[in-house]
Structures are given as C-alpha cells and as structure tokens.
C-alpha cells in the first residue's frame, strides 16, 4: 500500500509597511517577525536599506528608481509568500501606482497581500529622525526627502492604519498580528 505523506503547507503572505522615514516601519516589522518566528512561522524581513545594498544597488531616490526598487521587492515578496513565508516589507514606497502594481502582482498570483500604513505624522518623524535625514534636509545637505521635499502619496484604503505616535512598539506589532489572524493567515 502506498503511504501518502501529509505535508503541512503554511500560509504565506506579504505585509507591506509603508510610511515616512522614521515612521516605525522597520521597528514594527522586526517586532512582529520575532513574535511570528517564535511561534514557528517562516518569516523574512525585506528591508529597503538592505535591498538597496545588493538587489537595488545603483538605484537612487528619483521617482523612476523608487518605482523599480519597489517592483523588485514586490516580486521577491510575492515569491516568498507563495512559498509559505510571511514576507514583511518595511519600505517607504511613496507612490500609489507603484504600490498598486505590487498589489496587482499578488492578486494575479492569488498571494495574500496586506498593506499597512504606518501613519506617523511628519512632525513626529522629524523629531525621531533615526538616521538624521530630517536634520540633513533642514541643513540643506540633502534634497528629495520623502514627506518633506519629495512626495508621499498616502494610501487611501490600507488594510490597516497604525498611529505609532499613540502606541508602544508592542501594541503596533500586535495590531498587525491581529490583522493577520483576522484574515486567517496565522
């Protein structure tokens, strides 16, 4: 008699965390990743900074380069998510059409996709200024900073909006966790 071995296929999903520099995207992604992997889920964080070192090396912050960068990450996230990984993507993705193209890629492949807007106001982000970019822009050492002198097109209907300025990191990560749970993805 042939034995059929049961394989457990976990549900993958892409969770795209969009928002301004210093909004809290990366912090929330790693907090959530820790919780999910402790529970045995397969998780990858696709950080914009890291992707820019290799896969998007040579790309800058023009509209065209940001679009290319976001599409590459969207391709990679979809690939991972289709194979059972929770792909957490803390990437600014400032343009609505770029984000929509990523959503469409996922829809076509029937890959679960959640858009989370980390909606920290620019006034709060510029005080946090984790990487000193807001100070550099104010000092005239940098131009084209998202949300200051470069566009950020706010998501109109994200799956979740997070007000990180009114929450702890744990509360923000728990809100994304709850969304995954509501959608039957964990």
Ligand X SMILES: Nc1ncnc2c1ncn2[C@@H]1O[C@H](COP(=O)(O)OS(=O)(=O)O)[C@@H](OP(=O)(O)O)[C@H]1O
Residues that bind ligand X in the complex, under the rule CB under 6 A: 21-22, 25-26, 48-49, 52, 61, 66, 69-70, 91-94, 131, 133, 144-146, 150
56 is in an annotated binding site: no
Are the C-beta atoms of 95 and 151 separated by less than 8 Å?
Answer: yes
Nearer to ligand ADP, 113 or 152 (CB): 152
Cα 57 vs. chain centroid, distance in angstroms? 19
- The residues, ordered by sequence, that sit 6+ positions from 100 with a Cβ below 8 Å of its Cβ are none
Find the helix or strand (DSSP H, E) in which 99 lies. helix 96-108
Q: Answer yes or no: is 21 a known binding residue.
A: yes
Give the CA angle between residues 186, 26, 169 to the nearest 5°: 70
162 contacts 79 by C-beta, under 8 angstroms: no
Q: Which does 61 bind (CB under 5 to 8 A by kind): ligand ADP, ligand X, none?
A: ligand X
Position 126 contacts ligand ADP (CB under 6 A): no
Annotated binding-site residue? 23? yes
- For residues 84 and 95, which CB has a smaller minimum distance to ligand ADP in the complex? 95
Q: Which is nearer to ligand ADP, 28 or 114 (CB)?
A: 28
Which of ligand ADP, ligand X, none binds 106 (CB below 5-8 Å, type-dependent)? none
Site residues for ligand ADP, window 90-119 (CB under 6 A)?
A: 90
Question: Angle formed by the axes of helices 169-182 and 25-38, to 10°?
Answer: 60
Q: Which position has the token pair 């964080």?
A: 45
- Judged by CB under 6 A, does residue 146 bind ligand ADP? no
Q: Does 25 bind ligand ADP (CB under 6 A)?
A: yes
Max CA pair span of the chain:
75
Question: CA 180, CA 176: separation in Å to the nearest integer?
Answer: 6
Q: Which residues are annotated as a binding site for ATP?
A: 19-26
What does the binding site for ligand ADP look like in residue numbers (CB under 6 A)?
19, 21-28, 90, 128, 130, 164, 167-169, 172
């Amino acid at each position: 008699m042939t034995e059929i071995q049961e394989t457990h296929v976990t549900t993958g999903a892409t969770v795209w965390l969009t928002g301004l520099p210093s909004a809290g995207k990366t912090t929330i992604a790693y907090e959530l990743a820790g919780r999910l992997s402790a529970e045995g889920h397969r998780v990858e964080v696709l950080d914009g900074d890291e992707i820019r070192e290799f896969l998007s090396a040579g790309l800058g912050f023009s509209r065209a380069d940001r679009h290319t960068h976001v599409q590459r990450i969207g391709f990679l996230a979809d690939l991972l998510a289709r194979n059972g990984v929770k792909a957490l993507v803390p990437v600014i993705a400032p343009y609505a059409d770029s984000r929509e193209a990523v959503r469409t890629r996922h829809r076509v492949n029937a890959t679960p996709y959640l858009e989370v807007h980390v909606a920290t106001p620019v006034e709060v982000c510029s005080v946090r200024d984790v990487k000193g970019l807001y100070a550099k822009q104010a000092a005239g050492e940098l131009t084209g900073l998202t949300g200051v002198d470069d566009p950020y097109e706010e998501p109109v209907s994200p799956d979740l909006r997070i007000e990180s300025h009114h929450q702890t990191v744990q509360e923000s990560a728990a809100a994304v966790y709850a969304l995954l749970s509501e959608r039957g993805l964990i």
